[in-house]
Structure formats: C-alpha cells, structure tokens
Amino acid sequence: MTEPATKQDSASASAAEHLRLALSMMGKHGLPPIPINYALMYFYVSGEDLDLNEKIDELLDSRSGWTPEAAQELFDCHICQGDGRSNEALREELLATVANILGMLIDLSGKTAVSNDKLEQHIEKLAHSKDPQEVLSVATDIISETRSMVDQARQFESTLLDTTQEIEQLKDELFNDRRQATMDALTGLNNRRGFDEALKEAIGGSNEGDGGFCLLMIDIDHFKNINDTHGHLVGDKVLVGVAKMLHKFMRGNDFLARYGGEEFAVLLRDTPITGAFSVAENLRKGIEKLRLKHVKTGQQIGQVTISLGVACHRRDENADDLVGRCDKALYRAKSLGRNRTVLAD
C-alpha cells in the first residue's frame, strides 16, 4: 500500500517542478500564457521528446520569432500525433498539469481564484473529456477567469493604494492644521493654545505621580519703548530674536511657548525648584548678552533684557492657581528693577 502512494507523491512533485520550470520558460521568452504555449513548454522541460525540444529551440532563436501558428503546428505535430502517443496517455499528462494549475489557484485560506460553481463545472468537464484539445480548452477557461480575477485584484490593490495615500495625505493635513492651530505664526514657537494643552497634560501627570514640573513666566523688559521708538516691525524682530535665543537653551522635554504679546512661558518637566531657578538665570543671562540693531539703518536697538517668575506645581493645584503664583513672581521681578528672576511663594 505504501509503494503506490510513494510513486504518486513522486509524480506530483515531478509535475509541480515541470509546472514551475514551464512557467519560468514562458516568462523568460515573453510567451503569452495560453494553454498551447504552456503545454509545449511543459513537455519541453520534461525532456521526453528531444526532437520537439530542438524544434522549440530553433523557433525561439529564429528571426520570425514565436507565433501562434508556429506553436499550433508544433503542438499538432509533436504532442497530438507526431510522437505516437495515445490520446488517452496525453490526456492523463495534461490532466495532471491542469490539476497543478487548479492547485495553484487555491490560496492558503481555502478560497479559489474562480467561483465554486465554475470550479465544479471545470472538474466535471475534465472528468468526461476524452481529447487533449478539450483539456486545453478547459485550461483556457481557467486561465481566462483567473486573469479576470487578477485584473480585479490589481484594480482593487490600486484603489486601496490610492485610498491609503489619500488617508496619509489627510493625516498630514490634519497634523499640519493641528500644528498651525497651536503654533505662533511670528516666532514659530507654540502659542497660547498649545501652552494650555501642554500645561493641562503636565498637571495631569503630576497629580498622578509621574513627576513634578516647574513653570517659568518670562517678559521682555521695556518692550513698549522698543515699539514706540523703532516701530512695530522692529518690535517683531526683537520678539523673533528673543524666541530664538530662548529656544537655544531648551532641553529635549522642555516646552517653550509665546504666551502672548512680549511674554513667554516655559514648562520644565521633572525639574525641582533649584534646577528651575538655574535654568531661568541661564535664560536671563543669555538674553542680557543679546545685542540687536536695525538691519537697514544699522541703528543699535540697545540691550534687551527679560524678567522671570518661577513656580513649581503643587499637588492638586489647578492651572489658574499655578499661573497666578508665577505671574505674581514675575510682577515682583519687574517691580524690583527688572532683569532678574524671582521665585514664587
């Protein structure tokens, strides 16, 4: 009982290998995937008819090239009649190859490339077919239906790709819209809306024990005088220059925003009050060294300084209370002469 099964397995493996090689030959020479071409290539790679192989080689190398008429002539002469083989024997070999085609059309989930009704019709026709040409006719139907399925799949894949690209584009647009909604157009920093969202998130994390944070409120000293003396365009240049300098001192998880007007805010995550004071002083000293001049006239704008208030978030403290304490510290810094840092109560 085991020997027939072994022979059958061997025959199936051989037919599958012939199938692979035949398809490879057709692809290599650009032959249309029609049943007669497939049958010729199948018997070519099997090596059973050396005369047929020689004629196929000549045809492939000829100037006229591979034509449907030449292929039909080879098939009629060498496969159907010329080799003396009986139609029944040829039918059995072709049935084996068509069975391999059907097997390739069945995917891992058990679904087929053609409908179940169509598949039953093909199997029924193969069972009653007595002539090799009829077997090839069934193969033609299968290939035609499969090609239709492949075309539909490609169209679906193309549509899916287009949809995916549209989704990605929409995501980018939504991200850009969100970014623009939280970005200050003049300085390129986060704006008040972005700051409020970041502060809310920081407070939520702090109340849940993720780590405390500190807030810096920063105001450019005598900014009204700069606008009155040099004009608002120069005032805008000062705002941009200060923003760039502040940004240079930021660490990876720091959050810098233009709070409004000439006022800026910084969130320092996982930072104690002593560390926040050191950061504030570094910012103040960096801005103190900043010297700006009018681009067109070369006129010196003068020294620019900032005042800062520093407050650390207290557990269960809301945003308004935290900002209020920090604002009071900033007001004291300005009332004490400006260009200084004051810690909140």
Catalytic residue positions? 262
- Other beta carbons less than 10 A from residue 43's beta carbon: 25
Question: How would you classify residue 265: left for phi > 0, otherwise alpha for psi between -120 and 50, otherwise beta?
Answer: beta
Cα gap 128→148, rounded to integer Å: 26
DSSP 226-256: HHHHH-HHHHHHHHHHHHHHHHHT--TT-EE
> How does DSSP classify residue 316?
T
Cα gap 163→140, rounded to integer Å: 34
Radius of gyration (C-alpha) of the chain in whole angstroms:
41
> Of the candidates 257, 307, 261, 267, which has an alpha carbon nearest to the alpha carbon of residue 284?
307
CA angle 57, 59, 62 (to 5 degrees): 110
Beta bridge partners of 260: 263
Token digits for 314?
């207290």
Contact 16, 100 (CB under 8 A): yes
Q: Where do the DSSP E strands lie in the chain?
A: 213-220, 255-260, 263-269, 291-293, 300-303, 306-312, 341-343
Task: Write down the residue that tokens 């220059």 correspond to.
Answer: 241
* Helices 35-46, 132-181: crossing angle, 10 deg rounding: 110
Token digits for 182?
């939280």
Task: Write down the residue that tokens 């087929």 correspond to.
Answer: 112
